[in-house]
Structure 1
Amino acid sequence: MMKVETINLSEIKPADYNPRSITPKSFEGLQKSIEKFGLIDLPVINIHSKKQDGKYTIISGHQRIAALKKMSQAVAQCVIVDFDEVKERAANIAMNNRHIQGDFERDLLGDALSSIEGQFDFEELNFDDLMDEMNLNYDVNNSHSIEEKEISYFTKTHILLSFPPDKLFEIQDHLDKILQIDGIEYEQSSN
Structure 2
Amino acid sequence: MQLVDIPIDQLVPAPYNPRIELKPGMAEYERLKRSLTEFELVQPIVWNRRTGYVVGGHQRLSILKARGDAIAPCVIVDLDPAREKALNVTLNNERVGGDWEPDKLIDVLADLEELPDFDATLTGFSADELDELLMIPQTDPPVEEPSTESDTVTAELTIPIERWERIRPEIDRVVATHSLELHVRMPNSSEA
Shorter chain as denominator, the TM-score bin is 0.5 to 0.7
- Matched positions, count: 141
One-letter code of the match for 1:136?
L
Query: What CA distance in whole angstroms lies between the structure 1 residues aligned with 2:138 and 2:111?
Result: 13
One-letter code of the match for 1:26?
E
Per-residue CA deviation, residues 46-87 of structure 1 (Å, 9 max, x unaligned), is: 0102xxxxxx31101000000111111111111011111111
Give me the CA root mean square deviation: 3.1
Does the 8 Å CA contact 2:106/2:133 hold for their aligned counterparts? no
Q: Aligned residue for 2:17?
A: 18
Stretches (4+) displaced over 6 A: 148-151
Query: What CA distance in whole angstroms lies between the structure 2 residues aligned with 1:34 and 1:71?
Result: 10
Q: Aligned residue for 1:131?
A: 129
Query: What CA distance in whole angstroms lies between the structure 1 residues aligned with 2:131 and 2:94?
Result: 15
Q: What TM-score comes out, normalization by structure 1 length?
A: 0.64
Q: Which runs of 5+ in 2 are unaligned?
A: 140-168, 176-180, 185-192
Query: What CA distance in whole angstroms lies between the structure 2 residues aligned with 1:69 and 1:140?
Result: 39
Q: CA deviation at 1:128?
A: 2.3
Q: Aligned residue for 1:153?
A: 182
1:97 equivalent to 2:126? Answer no
Query: What CA distance in whole angstroms lies between the structure 2 residues aligned with 1:8 and 1:17?
Result: 22
Q: Which runs of 5+ in 1 are unaligned?
A: 50-55, 142-147, 156-191
Query: What CA distance in whole angstroms lies between the structure 2 residues aligned with 1:72 and 1:137?
Result: 40
Task: Give me the identity figure in percent.
Answer: 31
1:77–1:107 Cα change, 3 Å: same
Q: Aligned residue for 2:75?
A: 79
* Larger Rg computed on CA atoms: 1
One-letter code of the match for 1:106?
P
Matches within 5 A, 1:38-187: 38-49=40-51, 56-117=52-113, 118-120=117-119, 122=121, 126-128=124-126, 131=129, 135-138=133-136, 152-153=181-182
Does the 8 Å CA contact 2:4/2:76 hold for their aligned counterparts? yes
Does the 8 Å CA contact 1:45/1:59 hold for their aligned counterparts? yes
Q: CA deviation at 1:135?
A: 3.9
Q: Aligned residue for 2:39?
A: 37
